[in-house]
Chains A and B, each alone.
Chain A
Amino acid sequence: GAVVSQHPSRVICKSGTSVKIECRSLDFQATTMFWYRQFPKQSLMLMATSNEGSKATYEQGVEKDKFLINHASLTLSTLTVTSAHPEDSSFYICSARDLSGEGYGYTFGSGTRLTVV
């Protein structure tokens, strides 16, 4: 079935450094990728939508200069948290539009737990 490989699964970084999270679709072409953030005991909140070859669309309140999204190919989308701070500690998860139909069009990565110290 359709798989989205997300790496790393866990990362601890120092305050002020940048962290890159990758989501790779393994057996399908993901023209659109959605990036979500989930704080403890809360729901998934959409951060941005990225389409292959074009600039990402960010949700209101999400700093595009802080959360850089690149979707340069049909199989890879990346989220870079720049100059991370403790308040950026969260669970980040991607979701690819999968037109093959499995999951009724949405395939999730396994998530990345980011801790900024």
Chain B
Amino acid sequence: SQQGEEDPQALSIQEGENATMNCSYKTSINNLQWYRQNSGRGLVHLILIRSNEREKHSGRLRVTLDTSKKSSSLLITASRAADTASYFCATDTGRRALTFGSGTRLQVQP
């Protein structure tokens, strides 16, 4: 079974708007990572947040982590058409392998 579940499953916004995706997980984690997957391509690492961190920024990306609620969110500000992709959260539970969620499909309309 998958550790993380993203919400929503699909999201469609206009260019320039912000996009927020959420991830919930079930067990304690060491860290949580977000990846992007463009259609027909492999996954690209975006950002990692450790269990003792609450917020992290990278360019137009902002990630939050609430370990008490076992949830994380990924915010993409000022979205662009090139941000169209699927976004996955992945959790490190200490078993030395990442467990991926089912992903959020983001469509940014130009």
A joins B in a complex: no
